[in-house]
A and B are shown apart, each in its own frame.
Chain A
C-alpha cells in the first residue's frame, strides 16, 4: 500500500535552516508528482510546493519562494524540502502528499502523517 513517511522536523531557531524528507513506498515514486503542504497549529491547510515526476518542474507558494526548495531523489524514493531563513510563522506540521499524475494534476491523493517544525528562539 502507499506509504509516505516524513522526517526531519524539530525545533529550530529563527533564521536557521532545516531539511525535511519524505520516504515513499508501495508505489512507483518516479511516476508521480509530489507536494508539500503545511498546517499551522489549530489552522487550515496551506500548500507549500510541488515537483514533477522527474524534478524538471518545481512550484513554490509565494510565502516560501526564495526560502524553501523542493527536490527529489527517485533512486532513493525520497522527497525533500530544504527550508532556509526560517520564521516563526513557518511553524507547522508539514505533510508530503502524492499527486496521481506524472506532472501535477493538483490533486493530493495520498498523504503522510506529517512532521512538526517549530521555529522558536
Chain B
C-alpha cells in the first residue's frame, strides 16, 4: 500500500518559516497537492502539482518535491495560518491517498 508520512505537529513563531514534510519512497516521481483545513471548515488546496498556487493563495505558501520527501513551506507565518495541513497524491495502486495530517501551531 501507499502511505504518506507527515509529522503530527509543527510549531513556529509568527514571522518565522514553517516546513511541513510528506514522506514516501520515491514521492518525487509523483505530483503532490497540499490542503489546509481550519477547525470546523472544509479543506482548501494551497499548493498543487508540487509547487503551483491557486489564485488567492498567498505567495508565502510554496512547495517542493524531490526524492522521498515533499515539503510545504510557509514563509512569514501568521496566526491565521494555524490549521491542519494534508499532503495528497495519486497512486495507481490506491488512487488518491492523503497523508495523516500535520497540525501547525503558531506560538
Contact = CB atoms under 8 A, between A and B. Distances in A.
A112 B96 CA distance: 18
Interface in A45-69: 45-47, 50, 59, 61-62
What is the predominant secondary structure among interface residues of chain B facing chain A? strand
Interface stretch (A9-17, A24-32, A82-90, A102-110): A102-110
Given A59-B95, A107-B33, A109-B54, A45 B45 contact: no
Interface string B32-62: 0101010001111100110000100000000
Nearest to B99: A44
A100 to B, nearest CB: 8
Interface of A: 35, 37, 44-47, 50, 59, 61-62, 95, 104, 106-109, 111-114
Given A44-B100, A45-B37, A62-B94, 5 more contacts: A45-B86, A47-B96, A106-B89, A107-B48, A109-B48
